Amino acid sequence: ANIHLQLLGRSWAQFWRQRDFIADDYAVKLGQADSLMGILEIYRHIDVAQPYLLTNRPYTAERLDRLKG
C-alpha cells in the first residue's frame, strides 16, 4: 500500500504543479504578467528549494523563469 501512495503522490504533485503553470499562463493571457511576477518576486526569498522533498507546488524561481521566457 505504501508504494501505491508514493506513486499516486507523485502523480498528484505533478498534476497540481501543472495547474499552477496553467494559471500563470492564464494570468499572462489576461495581461497580468507584471502583477504576477511582482507578487512572485516578493515570495521568491521565502520559497527555498529543498532537495529530495516532493512538493505539489512549483518553486517560485521556476515559475518566474518560465514567465520571463
What DSSP letter does each residue of 9-62 carry, written as one string?
HHHHHHHHHHHHHHHHHHHHHTT-HHHHHHHHHHHHTT----TT---SS--HHH
How high is the pLDDT of residue 63?
93
Nearest to 40 by CA among 63, 22, 69: 63
The pLDDT tens digits of the residues spanning 10-52 come to 888 889 999 999 999 999 999 999 999 999 999 888 887 776 6
How high is the pLDDT of residue 1?
60
DSSP H/E element including 1:
none
How high is the pLDDT of residue 66?
93
Task: Please tell me the pTM assigned to this model.
Answer: 0.78
How high is the pLDDT of residue 44?
85
Q: Mean pLDDT throughout 49-65?
A: 81
